[in-house]
């Protein structure tokens, strides 16, 4: 926990430097600072899961925990600014959610423990050097999607499809990794994969429209830019009778016809357990980053009908959740 002496030193140093002090932590409070590259249901669920796991293990706001959260609103420069601000204020642990925020925080500190969450490929993103304990101040939870299973689901539900359109942000390292995996597993299962770039949310509609006449289905991976404007992709799917699949289950509630993915609230709870281990004395560098094992099938029969697909009864029967 932050001692009264350390807390006063942080405050004094902050004031002396003329910086803002964005939280009013009690001297005995543990401070956990969370940040996400953008706000959307999946990432919000991670944040909430972290907070709830902390509470379940005895760290509760209003008692002994100051829990901070800031969104970068999709801007990597803002993510870097948030990272610097957090680091200057010395929290006990920083939890960056999604790859761009994690990269910003890890680049800015070698001392404060960092527990990333919802990062597709921590090694490719250069957050850690290998799958084992990092030996640094960094660990976390990866949400690398089971892309081979996603492709198999697309093949099962739309057996006549020959091509998959993928809107993606080439500026997100996680999106590039996922696109490569879609190409790899898509080719193995007989699909042509057509990529359509969008570097910001305002370009997502155009990226989806560019797939009309080229792709038989559209697949949206866990790309933060595309998911932030997911309704635009759904509109294109409905207007042009192109089935839209997603890599995260929250997007099924927003209009995808199906997704086999993780419950991001559970990802947050898993991340929260790692944070608690560190608060109780473990070194981040001694904890290897973790993957998420459990997957759930969400389906949306009504939306499927709007996109020209009738979901088989056996698929609906095995779904974890049916959106109505």
Q: 282 with 300, same domain?
A: no
Residues contacting 124, CB < 8 A, separation 6+: 173, 177
185-198: pLDDT as tens digits = 999 999 999 999 99
Residue 254 structure tokens: 């927003």
Are 27 and 8 in contact, with CB atoms under 8 Å apart? yes
Tens digit of pLDDT for each residue in 195-214? 999 999 999 999 999 999 99
pLDDT score of 27: 52
Q: Are 118 and 267 in contact, with CB atoms under 8 Å apart? A: yes
Using CA atoms, how far apart are residues 154 and 133, in angstroms rounded to an integer? 36
Q: How many domains are contained in the chain? A: 2
Q: What pLDDT is recorded for position 26? A: 52
- Domain span including residue 124: 4-143+263-291
- pLDDT > 90: percent of the chain: 85
Give me the CATH number covering residue 101: 3.40.50.2300
125 and 173 inside one domain: no
Helix (H, G, I), strand (E, B) or coil at 174: helix
How is 97-143 classified by DSSP, letter by letter? ESHHHHHHHHHH-SSS-EEEEEES-TTTTTSSSSSS--SSSEEEEE-
Whether residue 101 is found in the same domain as residue 194 = no
User: Is residue 136 located within the same domain as residue 151?
Assistant: no
157 and 305 in one domain? yes
The answer to whether residues 203 and 219 belong to one domain is yes
Q: Which two tokens stand for residue 208?
A: 């989806």
Same domain, 87 and 183: no
Kindly report, residue by residue over 102-159, the tens digit of the pLDDT. Answer: 999 999 999 999 999 999 999 999 999 999 999 999 999 999 989 999 999 999 999 9
Q: 139 and 275: one domain?
A: yes
Position 263 scores a pLDDT of: 87
| 137 and 37 both lie in a single domain | yes
Write out pLDDT tens, residues 235-287. Answer: 999 999 999 999 999 999 999 999 998 889 999 999 999 999 999 999 999 99
What are the tokens at 89?
Answer: 């204020």
- Are 309 and 177 contained in the same domain? yes
Are residue 158 and residue 240 in the same domain, yes or no? yes
């Amino acid at each position: 926990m932050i001692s009264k002496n350390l807390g006063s030193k942080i405050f004094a140093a902050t004031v002396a430097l003329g910086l803002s002090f964005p939280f009013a932590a009690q001297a005995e409070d543990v401070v956990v600072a969370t940040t996400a590259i953008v706000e959307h249901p999946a990432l919000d669920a991670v944040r909430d899961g972290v907070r709830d796991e902390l509470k379940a293990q005895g760290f509760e706001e209003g008692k002994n925990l100051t829990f901070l959260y800031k969104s970068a609103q999709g801007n990597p420069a803002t993510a870097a600014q948030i990272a610097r601000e957090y680091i200057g204020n010395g929290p006990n642990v920083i939890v960056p959610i999604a790859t761009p925020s994690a990269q910003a925080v890890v680049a800015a500190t070698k001392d404060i423990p960092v527990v990333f969450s919802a990062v597709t490929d921590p090694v490719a993103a250069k957050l850690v050097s290998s799958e084992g304990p990092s030996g640094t101040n960094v660990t976390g939870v990866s949400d690398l999607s089971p892309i081979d299973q996603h492709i198999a689901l697309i093949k099962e539900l739309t057996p006549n499809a020959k091509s998959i359109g993928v809107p993606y942000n080439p500026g997100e390292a996680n999106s590039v990794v996922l696109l490569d995996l879609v190409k790899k597993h898509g080719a193995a299962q007989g699909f042509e994969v057509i990529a359509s770039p969008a570097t910001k949310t305002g370009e997502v509609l155009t990226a989806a429209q560019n797939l009309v006449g080229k792709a038989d289905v559209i697949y949206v991976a866990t790309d933060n830019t595309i998911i932030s404007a997911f309704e635009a992709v759904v509109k294109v799917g409905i207007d042009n009778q192109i089935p839209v699949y997603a890599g995260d289950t929250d997007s099924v509630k927003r209009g995808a016809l199906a997704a086999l993915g993780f419950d991001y609230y559970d990802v947050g709870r898993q991340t929260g357990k790692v944070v608690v281990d560190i608060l109780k004395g473990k070194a981040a560098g001694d904890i290897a980053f973790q993957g998420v094992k459990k997957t759930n099938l969400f389906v949306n029969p009504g939306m499927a009908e709007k996109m020209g697909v009738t979901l088989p009864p056996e698929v609906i029967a095995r779904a974890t959740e049916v959106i109505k």
